[in-house]
Amino acid sequence: MFRFIIIGAFGLCAGCTARAEPDIIDPWARYNHPVFSGNRAVDEAMFEPVAKQYKKVTPEPVRTGLDNFLSNLRAPTDLLNNVLQGNSEGALTTIGRFGINSTIGLAGIMDPAVDMGLQPHKEDFGQTLAVWGVGPGPYLVLPFFGPSNPRDATGLVVDVVTHPLFLVSYPGATIVQISRFSANSLAQRTAAIELLDNLQVNSLDEYASYRSLYEQSREDAIHNGRLRLDALPDFDEFDEFDDE
């Protein structure tokens, strides 16, 4: 349910309404639609109310500290994928950020590395596969995780099983994994409250909007923010501006 929240480019088009695209790019639509509807129902019944209450009662500095801590925990994933992509600058930056934030940043609760000019280089194995030339495959909606595709779904599994907290055996490992996943999900859903509310209200076809924006955001992530203009989806609002 929360895969769709890890999408920086969603914020670019939070108020846009995506035009439905030909089903030829979505051959699994007959499977995806009911899964999407089920995810939305679970989100509305459980995750959205919890996220809104969490945001209401938790001071922003506390939420920011949790976000920073969770971001610091994913440093091994970022490092591995930067290395696999041949991005030495990103790998060195990730090492530097982890060392600084884990020490003077109080285990990552604060992010002094940013003030030192070390910006995050977040990478996942889905991006790595794309850099290696692997195509995304058909659009796929995963139960609970939301929009994806075979390449990114494979990458998600690899990212989980290659993390040190998953590989190393220690007391309470299962509890730690569940807690980390739950905290990540809560933080991501809380950050996307206004975004997803706007998307639900303004989309003529919410399913198509999620699909278009997910694909756009993944292109943006794969190209490290160098979004290709020819990859942008078509939005109805633009047609209205043209008519005027």
Residue whose entry in the numeric block shows the structure tokens 């490092």 = 79
Task: For residue range 171-219, list pLDDT tens digits in order.
Answer: 999 999 999 999 999 999 999 999 899 988 998 899 999 999 899 999 9
Question: Where do the DSSP E strands lie in 3-78?
Answer: none
Flag whether pLDDT at 88 surpasses 50: yes
Structure-token match 């020819």, residue found:
230
Least reliable range by pLDDT among 32-41, 62-71, 166-175, 229-238: 229-238
Structure letter (DSSP) for residue 147: E
Nearest to 91 by CA among 112, 108, 77, 105: 77
Domain that holds residue 119: 3-243
Confirm if 122 and 222 have CB atoms less than 8 A apart: no
In terms of C-beta distances under 8 Å and separation of at least 24 residues, what long-range contacts does 215-218 make, across chains too?
Answer: 215/136, 215/139, 216/9, 216/12, 216/13, 217/7, 217/8, 217/9, 217/10, 218/7, 218/126, 218/127, 218/130, 218/136, 218/152
- 188 and 179 in contact (C-beta within 8 Å)? no
Cβ atoms of 122 and 186 within 8 Å: the answer is no
Burial of 55 (0-12, 13-18, 19+ CB in 10 A): middle
Q: Structure pTM?
A: 0.82
**Confidence at residue 203, expressed as pLDDT on a 0 to 100 scale:** 87
Q: What is the distance between the alpha carbons of residues 62 and 39, in angstroms, rounded to a whole number?
A: 28
User: pLDDT of 123-175, one tens digit each?
Assistant: 999 999 999 999 999 999 999 999 999 999 999 999 999 999 999 889 999 99
Structural domain count of the chain:
1
Residues 6+ apart with CB under 8 A from 91: 79, 82, 83, 121
The pLDDT-based confidence of 232 (bands split at 50, 70, 90) is very low
